[in-house]
A and B are shown apart, each in its own frame.
Chain A
């Protein structure tokens, strides 16, 4: 599936970027961005995940099948979360009677 083998250089570079991002996450936590704190932290986490996934796990070099499985995993995860949240947060929409 992944005949082409990433060179050591790419590994070192990716590792360095990962460490940088980890430091960034903790650093940003100390700055008050209000609600954006969480958004930024999760965005950086997503970037780190893609880096590890694409390079360390050779997704970048492998054919479609592994990628489809990863996307399927995320889709089902999103499916469960979104439908459950749809229920939990729309419970109070139906106005019980009264004033």
Chain B
């Protein structure tokens, strides 16, 4: 991304200098010597016009393709990236590791490991912005947005909230601590939490009574969840969606809007009973019930 940035800077300086120099040159060479001076009539030259339409257009197409290719590569995280769950709340960041560690406004990650952030917000639109990693993505209430980065140098980097979110928007900052793998393992051990996210998800799963309907053998009133995460689901009106985080979240909060063909819509909505973090824990638990890609637990 930086090469594109410096190329654009060069381009800007070149054209600005070109225009300024031409203007100064014309101003000095053709300054008005006497009031009665009549400059020759302007002759219009079509080829000149065509050229300064074509050249900027070509440059623009080239810039667009370069920028778009970088963006498309950055939009899809690699397989098996380390998963971190982020919940933005008015003026603080909650970060959860799959192993259960929970941090506020701080994130400890190992170096040279692709990290994928799954983010949602509990109130207004925030924005997870780490200038050092050239990365920014809005965090929306009611939806999951995800982005990924791979730290290359250990150190502590700024974390900002880039989308205006109210009074202490400028206080909603933090740091990303990139550590060598050994320090990271040591850090994990230092504040190992009692339960991993999947385990706390399982505890929630039983406490809320989900397991009365979603039985492993399929005899319950709800669909089997084992090994279902990520697979295709066909609704009653023929739409088929992938059972990803967003689908699971909508199924928990708003089951009536996802009618399944051979199940009666009896599932109650859990809106208001589960917080965003608990939903993430439930999703981690459902993922851990076997899916194509096991969450990486180092």
What is the interface of chain A, defined by CB distance below 8 A to chain B? 92, 94-99
Does B76 lie within 8 Å of A99, measured CB to CB? no
| Chain B residue with Cβ nearest A94 | B75
Which of B75, B230, B241 sits near A98, CB closer than 8 Å? Answer: B230
What is the interface of chain B, defined by CB distance below 8 A to chain A? 75-79, 81, 116, 146, 229-231, 241-242, 244-246, 291-293
A95: B residues at CB distance < 8 A = 76, 242
Does B146 lie within 8 Å of A98, measured CB to CB? no
Known: A95-B76, A97-B78. 19 other contacts (CB 8 A): A92-B241, A92-B246, A94-B76, A95-B242, A96-B77, A96-B244, A96-B245, A97-B77, A97-B79, A97-B293, A98-B229, A98-B230, A98-B244, A98-B292, A99-B230, A99-B231, A99-B291, A99-B292, A99-B293
Query: What are 9 contact pairs spanning A and B, CB under 8 A?
Result: A92-B241, A94-B76, A96-B146, A97-B76, A97-B77, A98-B291, A98-B292, A99-B229, A99-B292
A94 to B229, CA, bound (A): 17
A98 to B245, CA, bound (A): 10
A28 to B78, CA, bound (A): 52
A99: B residues at CB distance < 8 A = 229-231, 291-293
> 7 closest pairs, A vs B, by CB?
A99-B292, A99-B230, A98-B230, A97-B77, A98-B293, A99-B293, A99-B291
A96 to B243, CA, bound (A): 11
For residue B69, give the distance in angstroms from its CB to the closest CB of chain A: 15
A9 to B231, CA, bound (A): 64
For residue B121, give the distance in angstroms from its CB to the closest CB of chain A: 17
A10 to B229, CA, bound (A): 64
A92: B residues at CB distance < 8 A = 241, 246
Does A97 lie within 8 Å of B116, measured CB to CB? yes
